[in-house]
Amino acid sequence: MPSQPDFHESIQLLHRMDDSRFTARHLRIYVTALFGHFMDGFVINMTGVIIPGLIVTYHLTSKQAGHFSSSLFAGMLIGAVDGLLLQYWLDPGFDPRAWVRSFMHSLFDGIGR
């Protein structure tokens, strides 16, 4: 298992990332993430649009319509977790704790700005 970088190395990495150029690769990653976010929002909005029609057409109860909507959210959750599980199974060097720590650090750093 690789050793954890010390605090000084982490700060240097963050400074190098801040000073680096925005490349075509960064644009592809950003557009891919943006597309995924857009599709999640699209599914949520379309669910709100089509559920009234489904209720009338198929004579659904409110409980059945709620299950339908919940299944869409469960599918989004499974899709998000699936990538992590595949990486965990296929990459022997993958450390889920380090990934979560890095994600939370980025999240709180972004919130704090």
The residue with greater pLDDT, 58 or 101, is 58
Query: Does residue 106 fall inside a structural domain?
Result: yes
Containing structural domain, residue 73: 7-112
Per the structure, the count of domains in the chain is 1
What is the average pLDDT across 67-90? 81
Is residue 1 in some structural domain? no
68 sits in which H/E element: helix 62-90
Radius of gyration of the chain measured on its C-alpha atoms? 20
Is residue 79's pLDDT more than 80?
no
Dihedrals phi, psi of 66, to nearest 5 degrees: -65, -40
Q: Determine the average pLDDT of the residues in 58-72.
A: 92
In a domain, 37, yes or no: yes
Residue 2 domain-assigned (yes or no): no
Predicted pLDDT at 94: 77
pLDDT at 85: 77
Q: Is residue 17 part of a domain?
A: yes
> For residue 62, what are its two tokens?
């409110």
Query: String of b and e for 48-86 (b: at least 16 CB within 10 Å)?
Result: eeebeeeeeeeebeeeebeebeeeeeeeeeeeeeeeeee
Query: Is-contact 69 61, C-beta < 8 A?
Result: no
